[in-house]
Amino acid sequence: MSLTSSATISPPWEVLALVAHHLDPRTLAIASCVCKSWTISMSLDLLWKPLCNTHFPSLSDIHFTDLTVPYHRLYAIGHTAARRRLQTPRKPRLSLDSLIFAINIRTRTSHIASLEKHGQELQVDPGGVFKFDVDVNYESPASMFDDLGDVKITWNVILRGWRGIFTMMDCEGKVSFSPGAEGWFSEELPSPGCCSSEVASGMVADVKLGFCGRRSESGGVRKVRAEKVSVGILSIVNWRYVNMDDGLRYLQHFLVPSDV
Domain 12-86 has CATH 1.20.1280: yes
Query: So where are the chain's domains?
Result: 12-86, 96-255
Q: pLDDT tens, 84-118? A: 666 666 788 899 999 999 999 888 777 777 889 99
d(CA 128, CA 202): 20
Using the predicted structure, report yes or no on whether residue 63 has a pLDDT greater than 60.
Answer: no
Phi and psi angles of residue 42, each rounded to the nearest 5 degrees, phi first: -85, 0
Q: pLDDT tens, 173-207? A: 887 766 667 788 899 999 876 444 445 568 999 99
Q: Higher model confidence: residue 19 or residue 198?
A: 19
